[in-house]
């Protein structure tokens, strides 16, 4: 099976390195795509940018954090078989609100205004607090901002028609776990899979994430 791994708003594709290695060892193909472009694009442009980096068919597409905004469009462009929202924003498919409209309800108050790229100590506190020292070093090396305006302002289209899995880290200090649980139920009609981790479980708990992705943990 192919897995297309989409980095979040505060990290590069390198953040998926451990998960990709485990997926490959299990006999799958893992492609960590890079969303960064010289100029900001519309949502459809980012979807095509991912399409240009993937040469297969019907992958599982996994998105982290704020790039949940892009996940439906990426999935459509790739003909995805299923979607995975990993500590990710789930758009308001029926209400038409954008991420900016929901930021106060979605984000933990102490995270608002933090720039993890400029403040490594804050990155450790909010993003990587559950990492061991070696993992924290790797995680800090992966920090890179991706924050085009479209992530904040794009209104959601229709809900995706392919199956979704939602992973909620119960110790997330950036996105509210209770918000993600409720959005999973109300917007996607699924019960979230909870994991004892912070906002970046693909770094701190890669084996558990791999197990969820491959179906060995449900």
CA gyration radius, the chain: 16
* Model confidence pTM above 0.75: yes
Tell me what pLDDT residue 200 has: 98
> Is it the case that residue 136 has pLDDT exceeding 50?
yes
pLDDT of residue 172: 98
- Within the chain, residue ranges assigned H as helices are 17-25, 43-51, 71-78, 99-106, 120-126, 133-141, 149-153, 177-183, 201-204, 206-214
**What would the pLDDT profile of 49-106 be if each residue is shown by its tens digit?**
999 999 999 999 999 999 999 999 999 999 999 999 999 999 999 998 999 999 999 9
Alpha-carbon gap, residue 69 to 217, rounded angstroms: 26
3-state secondary structure of 42: coil
Note the pLDDT tens digit of each residue in 163-214. Answer: 999 999 999 999 999 999 999 999 999 999 999 999 999 999 999 999 999 9
Q: What angle do CA 113, 61, 78 make, to 5 degrees?
A: 115
Three-state DSSP state, 61 = strand
Q: How far is CA 60 from the centre of its chain?
A: 13
Q: How confident is the model at residue 218, as a pLDDT?
A: 41
Mean pLDDT of 116-140: 97
| 3 state SS for 65-110 | HHHHHCHHHHHHHHCCCEEEEECCCCCCCCCCCCHHHHHHHHECHH
Phi, psi dihedral angles at 30 (to 5 degrees): -120, 125
- For residue range 23-53, list pLDDT tens digits in order: 999 999 999 999 999 999 999 999 999 999 9
pLDDT tier for residue 12 given thresholds of 50, 70 and 90: very high
């Amino acid at each position: 099976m192919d897995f297309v791994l989409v980095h979040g708003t505060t990290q590069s594709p390198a953040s998926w390195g451990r998960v990709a290695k485990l997926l490959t060892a299990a006999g799958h193909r893992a492609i960590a795509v890079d969303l960064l472009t010289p100029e900001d694009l519309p949502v459809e442009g980012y979807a095509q940018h991912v399409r240009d980096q993937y040469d297969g068919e019907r992958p599982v597409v996994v998105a982290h954090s704020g790039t949940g905004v892009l996940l439906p469009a990426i999935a459509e462009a790739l003909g995805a078989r299923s979607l995975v929202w990993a500590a990710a924003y789930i758009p308001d498919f029926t209400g038409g609100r954008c991420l900016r409209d929901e930021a106060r309800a979605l984000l933990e108050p102490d995270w608002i205004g933090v720039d993890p790229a400029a403040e490594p100590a804050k990155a450790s506190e909010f993003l990587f607090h559950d990492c061991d020292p070696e993992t924290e070093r790797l995680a800090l090396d992966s920090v890179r901002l991706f924050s085009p305006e479209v992530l904040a302002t794009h209104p959601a289209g229709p809900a995706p028609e392919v199956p979704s899995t939602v992973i909620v880290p119960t110790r997330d200090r950036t996105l509210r776990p209770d918000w993600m649980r409720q959005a999973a139920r109300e917007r996607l009609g699924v019960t979230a899979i909870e994991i004892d981790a912070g906002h970046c479980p693909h770094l701190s708990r890669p084996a558990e994430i791999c197990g969820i992705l491959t179906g060995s943990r449900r």
